[in-house]
Structure 1
Amino acid sequence: MSARPAILVTGADLAPQALALLTEFEIVYAGRTPQEPDLIALCRSHDPVAIIVRYGKVGAAVMDAAPSLRVISKHGSGTDTIDKEAAGARGIEVRAAAGANAAAVAEQALALLLACAKSVVRLNARMHAGHWDKATHKSVELGGRTIGLVGLGAIGLRFARMCDAMGMRVQGHDPYAKDLPSHVQPVDLATLWREADAISLHCPLTPDNKGLLNATSLAACKRGVIVVNTARGGLVDEPALLAALRTGHVAAAGLDSFAVEPMAAPHPFHGEPNLVLSPHIGGVTSDAYVNMGVGAANNVLAVLSSATA
């Protein structure tokens, strides 16, 4: 074991800017697809004082294998892959790099919304196949329509600005949000389901909101609604969404996250003409990679410095 305290990264790399902040530590990488036995073995070998979570899950067994562990720092904003209850019981602090990937994810949400409204993927395929559908195709104009946002944190509010700039009416639901900008109208979920022409999810996944968008809530939405999810796949009941797409109750959906990742092949979503898919890359840009790494590193340093103060 190194004389320097160790930090375990559940991934294969960190941005150089993040590594520059952590020169006093031994950095141990778990690889791109770390499984729980791998993480337990590395914790037993290196007894890290911190874990930076990129991929995989960190539960009680991993924590118990690292008696010196003081902080689990997410390389991003979503901490649903960390057992926060187990961490709290062991006096381990959990931190997220909140807002570090807000611009990237909000832009991905906008890309998916526009792809759905303008049939970008389908028309592209038709054009490459030699078709010219100008006489038969009509897109959805978003200006003047209502977008309903579930979750008004850094990502949701940034996306709200984009939608407002396009002339959309922005409704939002977030029981924890305060001091909302004037262009966001706070509403309850029943109102959002009923009035939104498009719905975009930007909230964390919790035991209380798993399957938030399900057969019941989708049935309460307008026929022809557009659904976008760049948050967590568990927020959406996937069979219910697929059924709503096939009946036309949901006109189109753009998804960047899924209940099980990586998505297995074959998958019921494959080949659906009104479904635009991306492999959970909303926060994966060169800028966000640096921002998330630096944010995660700073969170580690903040917790460790307070513990020794």
Structure 2
Amino acid sequence: MSAPTIIITGADLAQQALDLLSGYEIVYAGKTPTEEDMVALSRQHDPVAIIVRYGKVGASVMDAAPSLKVISKHGSGTDTIDKEAAKARGIEVVAAVGANAAAVAEQALALLLACAKSVVALDARMHAGHWDKATHKSLELGGRTVGLVGLGAIGLRFAKMADALGMRVIGFDPFAKNLPDYVQSVDLETIWREADAISLHCPLTDENRGMLNATTLAQCKRGVIVVNTARGGLVNEADLLTAVRSGQVMAAGLDSFAVEPMTTGHPFQGEKNFVLSPHIGGVTSDAYVNMGVGAAKNLLAVLAQTTVA
């Protein structure tokens, strides 16, 4: 009798994770699996579990895999999985929460510093032979206020680093409890009103989609910095572009976008005061292992429960 199958929506998985899954047949869907690819693979292999790295897993994929018990996210964000469809079919959805917290928080800090210190623009000027010491002034972050939307593992990691810089840290998260002393819990309106920099660290939901838009950006301090390492859908990109061009937003450091991958001709490309990275906040050698191991352990825990049941 053949071993049960686990499908990976990617081209690889950390060896440490594969070692944990040694009793299963592993099938890779590749780096850009389409829904049709996933349906075909599910029909062919009838997996008991799917580890989601890239692409989406919806109802049609679930229906093509009658033995599917668990969908395990290789990371913390589960917005690419149809959780309602999974619940209706008795399929567990789990995530490796916190596995990439250090990596993403560091990327958020890098983007914040790049915006405040004009790192990218000054680098380009230097390479072009300019010396702007007499005319350039950077922004000092110490003593200024950073507003965090989302105080989970990533948000709190970032908060600790911001506090170490001497920043005042305020944050909004209706689910956060037992916050450290250096994080002040506030409502969103206070973040818009008081923050000199805003960093997004929350999952994308129907309720918060487009939360950073013309209305909320207009409530912010003029010259605010916006950092997003969470999900692109949290930001109305057209409104952010207008706000940066007008100076309402001094600069935006973005690692997430409404449509990924970003294609040629995106309005942000070539715009000054935008620092962009291709959703690589959680892509480090350490996080790759942590997320793979977390995803493997999570799905094994669910399969063990279903076996007992």
Aligned residue for 2:200?
A: 201
The aligned counterpart of 2:120 is 121
- Give the AA of the match of 1:168: M
- CA distance, structure 1, for counterparts of residue 124 and residue 263 of structure 2: 24
Q: In the alignment, which residue of structure 2 is the partner of 1:185?
A: 184
Q: 1:266: Cα distance to partner?
A: 1.2
Question: Following TM superposition, by how much is the alpha carbon of 1:122 offset from its aligned partner in structure 2, in angstroms?
Answer: 0.2
CA offsets 1:68-96 (integer angstroms, 9 cap, x no match)? 00000000000000000000000000000
How do residues 1-309 of structure 1 correspond to structure 2 at under 5 angstroms?
Answer: 3-309=2-308
State how far apart, in whole Å, the 1-side matches of 2:57 and 2:213 are. 28
Alpha-carbon distance in structure 1 between the residues aligned to 2:246 and 2:63: 49
CA distance in 2, matches of 1:61, 1:120: 46
1:184 deviates by: 0.2
How many residues in Structure 1 have an aligned counterpart in Structure 2?
A: 308
1:135-167 deviation per Cα after TM superposition (whole angstroms, max 9, x unaligned): 000000000000000000000000000000000
* Cα distance, 1:8 vs structure 2: 0.4
1:227-265: per-residue Cα shift (whole Å, max 9, x none)?
A: 000000000000000000000000000000000000011
Structure 2 unaligned spans of 5+ = none
Distance across 1 between alignment mates of 2:34 and 2:214:
33
Shift of 1:43: 0.1
> Aligned partners of 1:249, 1:219: CA distance in 2, in Å?
7
Q: Secondary structure at the match of 1:279?
A: coil
Q: Identity over the aligned pairs, expressed in percent?
A: 79
SS at match of 2:162: helix
CA distance in 2, matches of 1:259, 1:226: 19
TM-score (normalised: structure 1): 0.99
CA distance in 1, matches of 2:126, 2:211: 37
Distance 1:208 1:24 in 2: 41
**Which of structure 1's runs of 4+ aligned residues deviate more than 3 A?**
none
Report the 3-state secondary structure (helix = DSSP H, G, I; strand = E; otherwise coil) of the residue aligned with 1:300. helix
What is the CA–CA distance in structure 1 between the aligned matches of 2:274 and 2:46, rounded to whole Å?
Answer: 45
What is the CA RMSD across the aligned residues, in angstroms? 0.5
Describe the SS at the equivalent of 2:87.
Answer: helix
**Aligned with 2:122: secondary structure?**
helix
TM-score by length of 2: 0.99
Q: What amino acid maps onto 1:109 in structure 2? A: A
Match of 1:88, SS state, is: helix
**Residue 44 of structure 2: SS of its match in structure 1?**
helix
